Chain A
């Protein structure tokens, strides 16, 4: 069963994302409430997907991505960034930092669902 780490300091946002992903019966979500919390959990446990907010109180999502990509064992981890920033500059920066995909808030449940399905290794989760 694939594990996804959902990182957002907003509880409502995490709840919304998890609700959106519920149709993926095979996916088990874990929550992290800050960038540092996410990095800690990633170091101690295996995840198949990272859903990441950029705007957080301790270290921002971009720093999380940079940190993750510098680790050998996390180099291949799919990262889906969900953000309110939608200018070209941010988009470039997010993708060049190493995010796999990029979703702008507001997104619909169907959008995040198909993004996550596309990022998970084949056959790991079924709708």
Chain B
């Protein structure tokens, strides 16, 4: 018998799982810190954090990541003490624990990038060791006159904090109930197992405790088992019964108001917390390596290319044989719809809930609160918004920049806020909505001082336009970001050039600002939900075809010879045409690319109007041929990066067709007057 299993093969899955545990751990830490500040107990959060760290430690030991084992072990020791002595953590312990989580995170990042791992920092280990779990004794059990209506055997299973949770909930007017669930193969077939019951109940109730009880085996209870679920809820009995499998399920109240004094069972030593909502989210979820999804996408891309070829050949066939051609054509059209559906399905696998992305912000805000000395509360609302994982990951750093700016430069210090009649605590709101055109709109708004136009002007050494988009453009100038003056009067320049680069250049979105001096600022960014396959115009320029993503095009116009007014412009451009009440400069695309423009000056040609900020440029080319889906392969090789060319695609003719980034070209023109001139 030979075993050649190398557990290191599990590293990829390991990293993903530890990543999830870490984000939950951070959430628990924030919860613990919050309770501590309000002087409340947080046994549950402490236990859950303990459990998470314990899981991380065990997994790390299996795949041989000793640095994490050491860190998790140290942190666990602090939490165990806090738990076993039924004492609270002291606030002094919070910071080292956060550091510990960050250090684990750093190891995870290093591992995923294939970098070597350092042993844990001695300073951090020493700090963790030094943390004394000295605290105040746990608050006296407020049991008092209320009593749980439970058999003694069940009652003994409850930990003190669970009992308190049930009784407090009753005191606060929520319903505290008990449901008995008897599993059976028949119920399992109908989808009612303890896991699914907990999941369903978890969405309408807080599950405080589940206790398995042996019962005599009967026809109804073939397993001789019953689960007693203890819940806190606002839901109706019928709703609860439905979640457990039917109307015959009994929902019984668990708390009886008056006498006799409650027995005080010893605090259970064995961690046996209860169901956590966050854990429930993870159930029924398939964890897939993004690479595998990308592989499926590649296959699909190849299929789309084949279909384009088929369409092209079919056009020739249709000319030869009408009836057969028509039939073939309808089949191919049908397959086109099917491919679109398939594409949508695959893209849906790649989507992540935006709420998940926003869940990382509280930790960031916490850090900024500490470093800036400002009092800020963060509100996030992502609704049901979902977007492609790759877009989400690219977008996140831009969000961080905006959040950082809002706290560092927007929101005032508490005293200052008070002087201007505002609440001492500032509010930062990040919200997202999905728009009808498959874009997501994300708003970062604060109730701070707004962007200081004068300060921005001073820094740039020039005049800053009155309008908000002019101000935004000024903020996004690269030069501003290099001046790292983190004072409240320094404007809001930090990193805005990066934000713009991500949102506009990388993701093809837009960025806007609504500035309200003295009241706050709202930054809005809009990006497509997906980027891999785009709707594109196929255009002809002389002998060559190019592709232009539809999203970048504002309008397509006919350029009639003689209709354009020749004249000088600030950009050194030569022609202007009237368009929707304004005049738009026209640029010969051929000239930009070093070709000779078309010789026949009488031909009607097409112009593609592209918007860049508040300004527009019309690119003149020979013809817009068609609109179709194109799989964009970005040009990633730094040696072949050309401004204005964002990638290549295959339109079905087996040739590579360049994808034009007219927005970048417009930017180059508007900024430098001429394409290709160096910065």
Contact = CB atoms under 8 A, between A and B. Distances in A.
B496 to A, nearest CB: 41
Given A10-B55, A11-B287, A57-B51, A40 B225 contact: yes
A36 B283 CA distance: 14
A35 B234 CA distance: 27
Contacts, number: 122
Interface in A52-74: 53, 55-60, 62-63, 67, 70-71, 73
A109 B276 contact: no
A63 B62 CA distance: 24
A59 B273 CA distance: 7
Interface string A1-37: 0000000011111011001101100000000011011
Contact of B13 (A15, A20, A39, A110): A15
B212 A59 contact: yes
B193 interface: yes
B333 interface: no
Contact of B58 (A11, A39, A105): A105
A44 B188 contact: yes
B212 A57 contact: no
B195 A37 contact: yes
A12 B61 contact: no
Given A13-B58, A20-B3, A23-B3, A60 B210 contact: no
A127 B1 contact: yes
B289 to A, nearest CB: 13
A15 B2 contact: no
B274 interface: yes
A105 B63 CA distance: 10
A53 B48 CA distance: 16
Contacts of B17: 10-12
Contacts of A43: 183, 223-225
Interface residues of B, number: 46
Interface in B62-97: 62, 64
Contact of A59 (B3, B210, B224, B279): B210
Main secondary structure of the interface of B (DSSP, over half): mixed
B61 A106 contact: yes
A52 to B, nearest CB: 13
Contact of A84 (B54, B64, B272): B54
A60 B7 contact: no
Contacts of A67: 212, 214
Contact of A44 (B54, B223, B271, B276): B223
Contacts of B5: 19-20, 22, 109
B10 interface: yes
Nearest to B48: A57
Contacts of A23: 1-3
Interface in B276-318: 276, 279, 283, 287
A15 B3 CA distance: 15
B62 A105 contact: yes
B62 A16 contact: yes
B267 interface: no
B98 interface: no
A28 B13 CA distance: 23
A119 to B, nearest CB: 17
A92 to B, nearest CB: 13
A48 to B, nearest CB: 17
Contact of A36 (B55, B227, B271): B227
A44 B58 contact: no
Contact of A71 (B57, B61, B214): B214
Interface string B193-210: 111001000000000001
Which of A15, A16, A22, A57 counts the most B-chain CB atoms under 10 A from its CB? Answer: A57
B648 to A, nearest CB: 39
26 contacts: A10-B59, A11-B13, A11-B17, A15-B13, A19-B7, A33-B283, A36-B195, A36-B210, A40-B193, A40-B223, A43-B224, A44-B185, A44-B188, A53-B58, A55-B271, A57-B48, A57-B51, A57-B273, A57-B275, A58-B198, A62-B270, A67-B214, A84-B58, A105-B61, A106-B7, A109-B3
Interface of B: 1-3, 5, 7, 10, 13-14, 17, 48, 51, 54-55, 57-59, 61-62, 64, 183-185, 188, 193-195, 198, 210-212, 214, 222-225, 227, 270-276, 279, 283, 287
Given A9-B55, A113-B3, 17 more contacts: A10-B59, A11-B17, A12-B13, A16-B7, A16-B10, A34-B194, A39-B194, A39-B227, A40-B194, A44-B184, A44-B223, A57-B48, A58-B210, A58-B273, A59-B272, A63-B270, A83-B58
